[in-house]
Structure 1
Amino acid sequence: MLELLLEPRWSPYLAGAGIGLLLWCSFLFSNKPLGCSTAFSRTSGMIESAFNPEKVKNLEYYTIFPPVIEWQWMMVVGIIIGSFLSSYISGTFQIIFIPHTFYTFFGDNLLFRFLTALIGGILMGLGARWAWGCTSGHGISGLAQLSLASMVSVIGFFIAGIVTAILLYSL
């Protein structure tokens, strides 16, 4: 069993089963769906609270989702730590500023890479808030609940991803 943890790529079936178990535990213990975009907006509220706590306190969004550290926020920390540990244990950990695929298509300009990542991250964050959930929230939790909104969102995610890939890699 320990050999599985040393593999550079885990079986998608085992990983999927693990995510399914995590989703089941999420609903059982917290009665909340699995997802992480709310953690990022909570973090934004925590940062803004440091500068203007009264404004954050009066925002309607933060009355529903208070800017505090809670289990979904800790899950994001766990994802980061788990990703590092997984790559380190499997011997695949490396620090790369420009991934090979990006370098092949766009060159080695660090500023362009930074701006691309920044703009992409902002657009993904806005999309997640606009759709009231991220890809994992809709794709895992929403589809498991047979949510029509999640089905439409996931279809939109796939269409946008395919169109973006075609546009980027056909230039």
Structure 2
Amino acid sequence: MHIPERSRPYLFGALSGLLLTASVALAGQFFGTSTTFPRLSTFILTSLGIDLSSLAFAQVRDGALTGAAFPNWQLLFVIGIGLGAFISARASGTFHREHLPELWVSSFGSSQKTRLLYSLAGGSLAMIGARMAGGCPSGHGVSGVSQLGVSSLLAMAMFFIGGITTARFLYASPAAPVSGNNSSVRSGRSGRPDNTQGGLS
């Protein structure tokens, strides 16, 4: 069944809402993913014999945020996100391998080490921020906003502001005028055009 691309956000958003409703009604669980990662980290460290019991983090809610509550339903939820995305991409014929995105290459070059370092740094900052905020875009954005939680609405606003600001900072490029018409070609930091044209403001 073909679903028009413009209709997909509304359809899949509605389906996500129904899935959240079913999750709460049947299992008493709201969506959330970020807590899985500190749980996994503490689970690994504890398995290696490292004592974390003296940390304040390990004492919150009787260790509910640590590996003591691991594995649990949230781990399956996180695995399901990746698995579901893979199945969906394969089924729709949009799956393809890509070592580095073209936009990244045009701005930072083709070094995979650079990409790895940026990814590790960005992922670490995102995880620290999610735990400081008490949730991630799925926890705050789906579960919290669906309950009209003020903290979740504020968190989502900050997520958008932070994401847009970071993207504009990383991928900002000056507009180079093109002779003969009133358009411009944006070039990345490497100086190569990315074939995006638009009118001068």
TM-score of Structure 1 vs Structure 2, range by shorter chain? 0.7 to 0.9
Who is 1:34 aligned against?
Answer: 31
For residues 48-127 of structure 1, the aligned pairs below 5 Å read 48-52=45-49, 54-55=51-52, 59-61=58-60, 63-67=63-67, 68-127=70-129
Q: Judging changes above 3 Å, is the alpha-carbon distance between structure 1 residues 148 and 38 closer, same or farther for their aligned structure 2 residues?
A: same
Which stretch of structure 1 is more off in the superposition, 38-47 or 53-62?
53-62
- Structure 1 segments, 4+ long, off by >2 Å, are 7-10, 29-32, 52-59
Query: In 2, are the aligned partners of 1:42 and 1:66 still within 8 Å (CA)?
Result: yes
Structure 1 vs Structure 2 CA RMSD: 2.3
Higher RCO by CA contacts (8 Å cutoff, separation 6 or greater) = 1
Alpha-carbon distance, 1:55 to partner? 2.7
- Scaled by the length of structure 2, the TM-score of the pair is 0.75
Structure 2 counterpart of 1:131, from 119, 130, 133: 133
Secondary structure of the equivalent of 1:37? Answer: coil
* Higher helix content, 1 or 2: 1
CA deviation vs aligned residue, 1:93-129 (integer Å, no higher than 9, x gap): 2221111121122211111111111111001100111
* Structure with the greater alpha carbon radius of gyration: 2
Aligned length: 168
Distance 1:91 1:46 in 2: 37
* Higher strand content, 1 or 2: 2
Q: Judging changes above 3 Å, is the alpha-carbon distance between structure 1 residues 9 and 66 closer, same or farther for their aligned structure 2 residues?
A: farther
Secondary structure of the equivalent of 2:135? Answer: coil
Query: In 2, are the aligned partners of 1:49 and 1:56 still within 8 Å (CA)?
Result: no
Q: Judging changes above 3 Å, is the alpha-carbon distance between structure 1 residues 148 and 105 closer, same or farther for their aligned structure 2 residues?
A: same
Query: In 2, are the aligned partners of 1:8 and 1:91 still within 8 Å (CA)?
Result: no
Residue identity (%): 38
Structure 2 portions without partners, runs of 5+: 174-201
Query: In 2, are the aligned partners of 1:23 and 1:141 still within 8 Å (CA)?
Result: yes
- Scaled by the length of structure 1, the TM-score of the pair is 0.88
Distance 1:150 1:77 in 2: 24
Who is 1:22 aligned against?
Answer: 19
Distance 1:32 1:167 in 2: 37
Amino acid of the residue matched to residue 19 of structure 2? L
Structure 1 portions without partners, runs of 5+: none
Distance 2:145 2:94 in 1: 32
Distance 1:4 1:60 in 2: 50
